[in-house]
Amino acid sequence: MNSVFLNKAALAIVMSVGVAWLSYVVSDVVVPHTAPAKPAFSLPGLENVPIKPYLAQASVSRGAELARQICASCHAFKPGALDGVGPNLAGVAGRTIASVAPYSYSEALKSLKEHSWTDQNLSDWLTAPARFAPGTRMSLMGIPVVTQRADIIAYLHTLTASLPAGKNSE
Ligand code: HEC
């Protein structure tokens, strides 16, 4: 290998680094990377919508049908039934989060044990489980349609014997 070749190779490297650096500087001036003050868009249905007004119009039978289609593959609804992939949901409305004794909850859900499943918490959870409890094992994308969440929650009320329909907002 002669030194002319080495010189040329070294020059090539220096020039490419130089060009890369120059493009970086120029692009930074043309498109400064500052974070926008407000996100440019938000995903529809992912805001925490107050659920109470929707519960007034909710349908238990539609909720039961949705629960059968969406939740039943992982959850039981009958008191005393064995837990499935997820815990038994009989009595879930109003109960303390992550509190069905033998079920082994994720740390994500256990960390919320000081709270209970109010209607609003159920709604926010069902909107996007992974956002409500990052790290949860409930692998459901979420139910973006607020009226469907209300129907499902109204149905969940019927699984808590002591809970009159629509009274779980505290
Ligand atoms: C793919 C399986 C799967 C589906 C489908 C599913 N879940 Fe779950 N669910 C889970 C798992 C797993 C957990 C436990 C999560 C954890 O420990 O992080 C859970 C936990 C829950 C909890 C918390 C219960 C408690 O005792 O604190 C509620 C409430 C719940 N699911 C409601 C629903 C509803 C309502 C649906 C239908 C709209 C649904 N889930 C669909 C798997 C599922």
Q: Cβ(73) to ligand 1 under 6 A?
A: yes
How far does Cα 91 stand from its chain's mean position? 22
CA distances from 165 to 55, 60, 87, 114 (A): 9, 9, 22, 24
Q: Ligand 1, residues 75, 122, 151, 160: which to mutate, most atoms within 8 A of Cβ?
A: 75
Q: Ligand 1, residues 73, 116, 140, 168: which to mutate, most atoms within 8 A of Cβ?
A: 140
Residue 71: what pLDDT?
A: 97
Q: How far apart are CA 27 and CA 35, in angstroms?
A: 16
Q: Which amino acid is at 142?
A: G
Q: Which amino acid is at 95?
A: R
Q: Which of 104, 131, 132, 122 lies closest to 67, judged by CA? A: 122
- pLDDT tens-place string over residues 10-38: 888 888 888 888 888 887 777 766 655 55
In this prediction the pTM is 0.77
CATH number attached to the domain at 52-157: 1.10.760.10
- pLDDT tens-place string over residues 125-157: 999 999 999 999 999 999 999 999 999 999 999
- CB 80 within 8 Å of CB 156: no
- pLDDT tens-place string over residues 84-141: 999 999 999 999 999 998 899 999 999 999 999 999 999 999 999 999 999 999 999 9
Domains of the chain, by residue range, sit at 1-33, 52-157
